[in-house]
Structure 1
Amino acid sequence: MTQPMYDDAFLARLEAGLRAALPRWGLSAATHLRLLTISENATFRARDPSGARELVFRVHRPGYHSRAEIESELAWLAALGHERVIDTLTPIAQSDGTLIADIDDEGVTRHVVAFDLLPGREPAEGEDLPRWYRELGAINARLHAHAKSWARPEGFVRKVWDYEAMLGEVRLWGDWRAGLGLDAPGREVLERTAQVLRERLAAYGTGEDRFGLVHADMRVANLLVEGERLSVIDFDDCGFSWYLYDFAAAISFAEHEPYIPALQAAWIEGYRTVAPLADEECAILPVFIMLRRMLLTAWIASHAETPTAQAMGDAYTHGTVELARAFLATHDTDASDTDANDTGALEPNGGRAAS
Structure 2
Amino acid sequence: MDTEAAIRAVRGALKLYGFEETSGIDLVKYRENYVFRLTRATGDSYAVRLHRAGYRTDAQIRTELAYLQALGEQGVSVPEMVPTLDGNLMCLVRADDGTNLQLDVQRWIDAAHPLGDVAEALTGESALEPETFRLLGALTAELHDRTSAIGRLPGFDRGAWDAGGLVGDAALWGNPLAVEGLASEDAVLLETAMARLKRDLEALDASADRYGVIHADLTPENVLVQDGRMIVIDFDDFGEGWHLFDLATILFFYQPHPRYEAYRQALIDGYGSVRALPERFLDPWDAMLLARGLTYLGWAGERKGDAEAAFIAGQVVPVVLGLAAQYTSAGASRAGTGS
The TM-score with structure 1 as length reference comes to 0.85
The answer for the alignment partner of 1:169 in structure 2 is 169
- 2:44 paired with 1:53: yes
Residue from 12, 21, 34 that aligns with 2:4: 12
The DSSP-based 3-state class of the residue aligned with 1:51 is coil
Runs of 5+ unmatched residues, structure 1 = 1-8, 340-355
The DSSP-based 3-state class of the residue aligned with 1:251 is helix
The answer for the alignment partner of 2:123 in structure 1 is none
The answer for the alignment partner of 1:344 in structure 2 is none
Distance 1:269 1:276 in 2: 10
The answer for the alignment partner of 1:26 in structure 2 is 18
- 2:196 paired with 1:186: no
Distance 1:134 1:261 in 2: 13
- 2:65 paired with 1:70: no
The answer for the alignment partner of 2:72 in structure 1 is 81
Residues 113-152 of structure 1 correspond to what in structure 2 (within 5 A)?
Answer: 113-119=104-110, 120-124=112-116, 126-152=126-152
The amino acid that maps onto 1:12 is E
Alignment deviations for residues 9-42 of structure 1 (CA, whole Å, 9 cap, x no partner): 5333222211222232233233222222223222
Distance 2:306 2:19 in 1: 28
The DSSP-based 3-state class of the residue aligned with 1:282 is coil
Alignment deviations for residues 36-73 of structure 1 (CA, whole Å, 9 cap, x no partner): 2223222111112x221210011112223211111111
Aligned-pair distance for 1:274?
Answer: 0.7
Contact 1:255 1:289 in 2 (8 A): no
- 2:104 paired with 1:104: no
- 2:234 paired with 1:234: yes
Alignment deviations for residues 63-102 of structure 1 (CA, whole Å, 9 cap, x no partner): 2321111111111111111121x21101101222212121
The answer for the alignment partner of 1:5 in structure 2 is none
Contact 2:137 2:269 in 1 (8 A): yes
Contact 2:159 2:172 in 1 (8 A): no
Aligned-pair distance for 1:253?
Answer: 4.4
Distance 1:151 1:123 in 2: 28
The answer for the alignment partner of 1:343 in structure 2 is none
Aligned-pair distance for 1:246?
Answer: 0.5
The answer for the alignment partner of 2:261 in structure 1 is 261
Contact 1:39 1:308 in 2 (8 A): no
Greater Cα shift, 234-243 or 61-70 = 61-70
% same residue:
27
The answer for the alignment partner of 1:4 in structure 2 is none
Residues 197-346 of structure 1 correspond to what in structure 2 (within 5 A)?
Answer: 197-278=197-278, 280-304=280-304, 306-333=306-333
Distance 1:254 1:298 in 2: 20
Name the count of aligned residue pairs. Answer: 329
The DSSP-based 3-state class of the residue aligned with 1:281 is coil
Greater Cα shift, 229-238 or 301-310 = 301-310
The amino acid that maps onto 2:79 is L
Greater Cα shift, 106-115 or 32-41 = 32-41
Aligned-pair distance for 1:232?
Answer: 0.8
The DSSP-based 3-state class of the residue aligned with 2:161 is coil
The DSSP-based 3-state class of the residue aligned with 2:92 is strand
Aligned-pair distance for 1:198?
Answer: 1.0
Greater Cα shift, 96-105 or 109-118 = 96-105
The amino acid that maps onto 1:321 is L
Contact 1:132 1:230 in 2 (8 A): no
Runs of 5+ unmatched residues, structure 2 = 121-125
Distance 1:79 1:306 in 2: 35
Distance 2:302 2:135 in 1: 33
Distance 2:169 2:137 in 1: 31
Greater Cα shift, 254-263 or 28-37 = 254-263
Distance 2:21 2:272 in 1: 50
The amino acid that maps onto 2:92 is D
The answer for the alignment partner of 1:342 in structure 2 is none
The amino acid that maps onto 1:17 is A
The TM-score with structure 2 as length reference comes to 0.89
Aligned-pair distance for 1:338?
Answer: 11
Distance 2:150 2:334 in 1: 42
Distance 1:95 1:305 in 2: 40
RMSD: 2.3
Distance 1:28 1:11 in 2: 20
